[in-house]
Structure 1
Amino acid sequence: MTASTPVVPRGIASPSKFIIGPGLLAQLPDVVKDFGTNAIIICDPFILPHVERESLPALAKAGLKGSVEKFNGECCDSEIKRLSALAKERGANVVVGVGGGKTLDTSKAVSHALKHPLVLYPTIASSDAPCIALAVVYTDEGAFSHYLHLPQNPSAVMADTSVIAGAPARFFSAGIGDALATYFEAQACYDSDGTNLLGKKPSRTGLGMARLCYDILRDNVDSAMDAISRNVVTDAVTTTVEATIYLSGVGSESGGLAAAHAIHDGMTVVEDIHHAQHGEKVIFGLMCQFVLANTPRETVDEVVRIALRAGLPLTLQQLGLKKFVPAEWRKVAELACSPDDTMGNMPMKITPDDVYNAIVTANVMGERHMAAAGKAVPKLD
């Protein structure tokens, strides 16, 4: 009897709970009580007074302990160790992260170090990262250090729409940009029988959630952006946040990534566009994926409509690029095709030359769409 090659199974992952609605700070005990009795709450400075005023009294009233600690601004080893030591000193048995991406990633790392349950409360909806079992760790100086792959997703994610709607609209738009790519990347990964972020084959459930994410964005973007422009919460805003944080998170982790995120990862070496939001770069990566796959025009036009309504950039100029240096972008293309990235989940073989050509073409396509929308951008040198 000969040994057979093990079959790679399909896999799905998600937070244990996802809670969405307004005014959730005072409802923190309702979630914490299911995971622990003593919470250390790691906070962005701007929301710390609100946590002290609303969450701590609510925890005490529920017979739970809680303490707040300000996040010092960088998700780095020294900050993770500092907060882990404080959590031990205070006898915490559940970690709560309240803030933006680096605060939440630090909270993930502290939870992982202590092996405690984790509750995340994102204050912006700029990406689907709160739901994913991954943290990005930097050096003390802010340079990229490494990815921390976690054994499980957060215990709970609480999306407070009143806080998210009060943030600058650019963050909300960036979340739409990140989520727009979810379905098209998951479909590519499923078609190629590729590998999702769990290291497993993509699941039909992940693909279905990715598709629902896209359908929600398509149907709600107009009303949601109207409301966000005035920092108010409507059903369209709530539904869109559910798509950009939860459905996109589960859809990308369980469905898989492909060219759009691989090209985003390559673009991180271009200094001019470092300030651009993750989702702003991902939407350009998606336009490149459309070029690589020769996606039907009707599909591209509909995605462009959504992107424009969300105020997303479609060109490198809008991302901040001052001059197009071919050698720099050939480096981007090479990095995007790294075996360690997700380009291999495309249904066809993609070379660095293919990616470079797609980048050039996608930028011209973006210029055309911006001009047609009456928002012409200057040509790149």
Structure 2
Amino acid sequence: MLPLTSYAWGSPGRYIQGAGELDRLAIHTEKFGKRAFAVIDEFFYKSFTERLNTLYENAGGAFLSFLYQTEITKELIEKASDEASGFSPDVIIGIGGGKALDTAKAVASRLSLPLVIIPTSASTDAPTSAMSIIYNDAHEHDDVYYYIKNPDLVLVDSQIIADAPVRFLVSGMGDALATVFEGRTSIRTNQPNYICGESGSYMRTRTAAAIAEECYRTIREFGVRAKIANELHVVTDALDAVIEANTLMSGLGFENVGCAASHVVCNGITAVPGGDKALHGEKVAFGVICQLLAENEDMKLIEEVIRFNLSVGLPVTLDDMGIAPTEENFDIISANPQETEWTREPFYMDAAKVKAVVKTAHELGKRYKKGL
């Protein structure tokens, strides 16, 4: 229990979401200046570089893109920062998935420049946050960079999300699913959030707790309909609702309230051979089941979460993520809990206890898939 006495809130300066907003990017960045440097995910690099070069030329500006590929490492951040510095931009833009966006955050922080974030899928809540998750060349979690401010603008083009693979949207629902449960745990144990860590430790605001609750309600109500819209590549109110939940509500919720065991299980799965094949939110969704079992939550709630996962296609077993349920893999997933956010839970967990929970979650998921 920490002696927290003050509250803190952090959020992007602006959030804009709607179909066709990418074509208005030069208008959105004009307030910062004419010269824009963009870190662009390799899957969109060629098409978006051509599109945005034309856009900025027509607006009388200058545009330079940097190819993001492989992994977000400290070396890649250094290279991108050097290229940006040589261009003397007025604003940094990140376009792509969570790792490309986190790279842009690091560049903007190093150069002390405004930051615009443009996710190309609604797969994680990374776009709104003031942090970057750093990996090494082996795709293993290496570090976390925390920044003194959130992005100045998060710009979401709903049509781009509708055209993205459905698996990304579903994964985002898995990440969003954890927001309320990890938030409730952080509140129960009076844990600090991730805001203004450079100046102290702070409690969540009531606003943040309410957003976390609404995030869960939104994905439960609209999740299946949003998935169907994504499959059809059309933008509907349901899809926009889930995009907002996956991106804005989940982002504000986790950063302003806090994470807990669900994300630790995710990190453990990432360390398992082949664990990088599952998306972040897929691993988190299975982690939610593990967390609820560890907390001895009411079985009705656990069943509600499992059935939601099954309804949209989120994992309920390790097999669903291509992970073999071996003793060795259980040991990797359960390692060193006292060095992780398992310590935010209201009870002590050692590796043996975590292993038991993960095994139980896997077996429970198997039974529900069989209709038991």
Q: Are 2:107 and 1:105 aligned? A: no
Structure 1: any 5+ residue segments left out of the alignment?
Answer: 374-381
Which residue of structure 2 lines up, in the alignment, with residue 258 of structure 1?
Answer: 260
Correspondent of 1:79 among 68, 76, 84: 76
* Contact 2:318/2:325 (8 A) holds in 1: no
Matched, 1:164 2:161: yes
The residue aligned with 1:362 is 361
Secondary structure in 2 matching 1:229: helix
Please give the per-residue CA displacement for 1:102-139, whole angstroms capped at 9, x wherever unaligned. 21111111111111111111111111011111112334
Q: What is the TM-score with the length of structure 2 in the denominator? A: 0.91
Query: Separation in 2 of the partners of 1:289 and 1:143?
Result: 22
Matched letter for residue 284 of structure 1:
F
Retained in 2: the 8 A contact 1:137–1:148? yes
Q: Partners in 2 of 1:73 and 1:35 — Cα distance? A: 30
Paired position in structure 2 for 1:90? 87
Q: Aligned letter for 2:301?
A: T
Q: Decide whether the 8 Å contact of 1:204 with 1:255 is kept in 2.
A: no
- Determine the structure 1 residue equivalent to 2:345: 346
Partner residue of 2:323?
A: 321
Of 231-240 and 6-15, more deviation after overlay is shown by: 6-15
1:379 corresponds in structure 2 to none
Q: Which residue of 2 aligns with 1:377?
A: none
The code of the aligned residue for 2:56 comes to: L
Counterparts in 2 of 1:42 and 1:60: CA distance versus 1, 3 Å: same
Query: 8 Å contact 2:128–2:154 — kept in the other structure?
Result: yes
In structure 1, what is the equivalent of residue 335 of structure 2?
334
Q: Which residue, out of 113, 135, 152, partners 1:155? A: 152
Aligned partners of 1:347, 1:143: CA distance in 2, in Å?
Answer: 28
Matched residue, 2:198: none
Distance 1:139 1:298, change over 3 A: closer
Q: Which residue of 1 aligns with 2:38?
A: 41
Question: How far does residue 49 in structure 1 lie from its aligned partner after superposition?
Answer: 4.1
Per-residue displacement from partner, 1:39-59 (whole Å, max 9, x unpaired)? 112212332344344433333
Matches within 5 A, 1:1-381: 7-140=4-137, 142-198=139-195, 199-325=201-327, 327-335=328-336, 337-339=337-339, 341-372=340-371
Distance (whole Å) between structure 2 residues aligned to residue 135 and residue 85 of structure 1: 18
Q: 1:194 to 1:30 in 2, by over 3 A?
A: same
SS at match of 1:271: coil
1:73 deviation in Å? 3.4
Contact 1:182 1:251 in 2 (8 A): yes
* 2:34/2:61 contact within 8 Å kept: yes
Whole-angstrom CA distance in 2 between matches of 1:346 and 1:35: 42
Q: For structure 2, list consecutive stretches of 5 or more residues without a partner in the other structure.
A: 196-200
Q: Assess if the C-alpha contact under 8 Å between 1:272 and 1:322 holds in 2.
A: no
In the TM superposition, what is the alpha-carbon distance from 1:141 to its structure 2 partner? 5.8
Deviates most, 352-361 or 246-255: 352-361
Deviation at 1:161, TM superposition (A): 1.4
Percent identity between the two aligned chains? 32
Structure 2 Cα separation of the partners of residues 155 and 171 of structure 1: 24
Paired with 2:137 and 2:3, the residues of 1 have a C-alpha distance of 42
Tell me by how many angstroms 1:163 deviates: 1.0
Counterpart Cα distance in 1 of 2:125 and 2:306? 20
Alpha-carbon distance between aligned partners in 2 of 1:205 and 1:154, rounded to the nearest angstrom: 20
Structure 2: distance between partners of 1:137 and 1:130: 15
Distance 1:8 1:136 in 2: 28
Q: Which moved more, 1:49-58 or 1:308-317?
A: 49-58
In 2: Cα distance, 1:262 partner to 1:142 partner = 16
Give the length in aligned residue pairs: 366
Q: CA deviation at 1:315?
A: 0.3
| 3-state SS in 2 of match to 1:153 | coil
Task: Please say which of residues 108-117 and 224-233 is displaced more in the overlay.
Answer: 224-233
| Partner residue, 1:376 | none
**Whole-angstrom distance in 2 between the partners of 1:114 and 1:133:** 15
Q: Distance in 1 between matches of 2:169 and 2:5?
A: 36
CA contact (8 A) 2:290 2:361 kept: yes
Gap change, CA 1:82 and 1:333, over 3 Å in 2: closer
Residue 66 of structure 1, CA deviation? 2.2
Whole-angstrom distance in 2 between the partners of 1:124 and 1:303: 23
Deviation at 1:184, TM superposition (A): 0.8
**Cα deviations across residues 175-218 of structure 1 (Å, max 9, x unaligned)?**
00110010011011111111222342232221111111001001
**Native 8 Å contact 1:225 1:309 kept in 2:** no
Instruction: String of CA shifts for 1:284-322, please: whole Å, max 9, x gaps.
Output: 111011111221222222222221121111001111122
Q: Is this contact kept in 2: 1:195–1:345, CA < 8 A?
A: no
